[in-house]
Amino acid sequence: MKELLEGVDYFHERGIMHCDMKPANILLTNGGHIKIADFGISIIMPSREYRSTRYGDTRGYTAPEVELPTEKGFNQTIDIYALGMIADWLRGVRLSNYDDASPALRAFIGLSAAKKPEHRPTAKELLQHDFLTQATSDADDDLDRMLSGTVPSAN
Residues annotated as catalytic (active site), given as ranges: 20
**Nearest-5° Cα angle at 141, 61 to 117:** 30
- Do residues 31 and 55 make contact, with C-beta atoms less than 8 angstroms apart? no
Within a 13 Å sphere around the CA of 107, how many CA atoms are in the beta-carbon half?
Answer: 12
Contacts of 62 (CB under 8 A, 6+ apart): 55, 78, 81, 82
CA distance 60 to 129: 23
